[in-house]
Structure 1
Amino acid sequence: MVKDTKYYDILEVTPQAGENDLKKAYRKLALKYHPDKNPAAGDKFKEISHAYEVLSDPQKREIYDRHGEEGLLGDGSGGMSGMNAEDIFSQFFGGSMFGGGSNRGHTGPRKGKDLVHSLKVSLEDLYKGKTSKLALQKNVMCSKCDGRGGREGAVKQCGTCNGTGHKTVTRQMGPMIQRFQTICPECNGEGEQIRDKDRCKECKGKKTTSERKVLSVYIDRGMKEGQKIVFSGEGDQGPNIIPGDVIFVLEQKEHHSFKRRDDDLYTVLKIDLITSLAGGKVFLQHLDDRYLEINILPGECIKPGEIKVVEGQGMPSYRHHDHGNLYIRFEVEFPAPHFVTDPSDFSILERILPPRVEQRIPSNAITEEVIINDVDPMQEARAEGAAKGGRGTNGMAEDCDDDNAPPGVSCAHQ
């Protein structure tokens, strides 16, 4: 029966925990609460290190089990004295506790590389929000050998480089002497040596194995292109390494109907000529599959290219409750040629529509009557380009270089 379980509770183990259990618990908690990764957890990190220092020493552990923290005060191990927390961490992950050298030119563990992935998302995903399950392969410390690379006691410090992983080479070039460092050829820069027969069968002495990890990536409503979703500490593990982060960078796929600018949406809606003149209802399918009912008033006369706004129907604002606006550019579809079969019907249009604009030319002008014909699509494209000064055929896209104008969008059919 132990007198005090405080140190065991700190490491989240039972008083019956063995040496390997303590190592696994320390590795897990030290990586989680290291100040480089969790700046606010400095005191917690020191507690974990001190608890491991006491319980990993058989003599100190026996005293602690019998007398609690008070029993350690006599040998200077009570309270938060003893080894520096960073020294314990550096030795543990640097390999000295498993037979390797701790003096490798590092003052402590280095942070591993971040793993950055591009995540393609639809505009619907950004509008409604979505959770995706994504699998990736990562390196983790070998569980069979506890990251030693071999059986306990078999990992030895390299005698050639004294565990530093490099050698200093001196070379004389004429009257000058040049000194430089190279990777130790005996240990390939590892600072350790393991005989082949002693290597771990699981990791082949590499200390890490590959593991498939599934992450739940939550795409919040209103997120934008280029925004990052970070999973701290989910990068590759390795000796003397604080795992880096896994970062997903959002890449928005092009949408066939809507364009986005900040929290505003832009789209094109086609309506027929009679609706633009006499009014009526038209419907627009939104990103969440709702149909917006748009009422055009009789006589409102929606002109081709006219832009209207529906307030509050744009993108949701990220982590806010409001929405941007929805801008609609109307395309008015004219009837097919010769849609009137009775010529007398034109007189009805003449009475309803505004009067013709009178054409005035100089009295002495020379006139010549010509015939207009249909052109093929290629000729039409060239003609439109020339009419617009060579700016292309996408009128809306080309006319929207001004920051106050909507961007080019494709059509959403009625």
Structure 2
Amino acid sequence: MNVLVKSATIVDPKSDFHNQTVDILIEKGTISQISKRIQNPKNYKEIRLDNLHVSQGWFDSSVSFGEPGFEERETIDNGLQTAAYSGFTSIAVNANTNPVIDSYADISFLKSKAAKHAVNLYPIGALTKNSDGIELAELFDMKTAGAVAFYDYQKPISNPNLMKLALQYASNFSGLVCSFPQESKISGLGVMNENVTSTSLGLKGNPALAEELQIARDLFILEYTEGKLHIPTVSTAKSVALIRAAKQKKLDVTCSVAIHNILYTDEQLNTFDTNYKVLPPLRTQNDIDALVDGLKDGTIDMVTSDHNPLDIEHKKIEFDYAKYGTIGLESAFGALNSIFTVKKTIELLTKGRERFGLTTTPIAVGNDANVSLFNPSGNYTFSDDNILSTSKNAIYKGKELNGTVYGIVANNQLLIK
């Protein structure tokens, strides 16, 4: 693939051309020249787009599809195409399929399905067999096959000894253990944040305490085992404080936040729209403020779309019975760019690779082209027309977002909408 990208503003602090508007020549998938103006004697395809900006390719640490087993929700092929057109060159994919991804063969299947795509798919293996929370899965075998972490997606490990064993065992091969932050006996049958809003709506509440107890427990176990822990999708102010204190103690812990948890409060549920039913639930403005502060000071290491496609049969039903989850790849950039500066938005979208054992690729001559193309200007209202996923369960419908994603250059391929 040979292409000449014209008049692109580079947003990459690790590049010598950061904040400069330049031409970028890509030959056979490798950046061969960066300059103010590059001639095109070989008549390569030229990319000229309005207010074009490029950055290192974006990474999402928590993406769910459906295949195998739930192809009606999303296939790997369409999911990876959606990720590409949403600006992501790398995604870590959860194990919540049927069967659950919990063996060497399962990891190999995912990698083979994604092999020829522009987007790199990095499998997350289940932490326990069938994600049942009873017995550890084949962690080392999955690591050998290419798993980048181990996580029972949105299923808390209730047995503290099992979490202890997981951290101890995985530390033998630098495995990353993920623990969903929820104490199930406290959360009970709660379907939204426990607060005045849940009381007024007559819906059972899932208190912040459920998240904070689980995080406190896991941090104590982490300190004992000296393992390597990632806490996905934190949502409360006290959770941020707990993790901040743990980092000050030099514990090996990271965490993420779902983008929708820094945009919406639990008051959105007044309409009983099941697109707002997510896990962890939407919390309060005080929690949002703490989460944003955590992103700014580095306590929260990365953002995620927590993309989770669900078919209409699981969402367009009574609120109590609807499944948790929203799609988010298509809206990730526009949502972040509507509340942060362009610089901060790109920083958040490119963070997290190292925690999952992946390398970063600065925009520099001689490096493989692994870049996202976008226009940071211009507002629009997110609607069904912006959805590329097979499932349409989007929390962002009707939300004003900022900026447009054009596509990516990665793995010697160009994908532009």
Q: Same fold (TM over 0.5)?
A: no
Q: Compare the two structures and name the one with the higher helix fraction.
A: 2
Greater relative contact order structure (CA < 8 Å, 6+ sep): 2
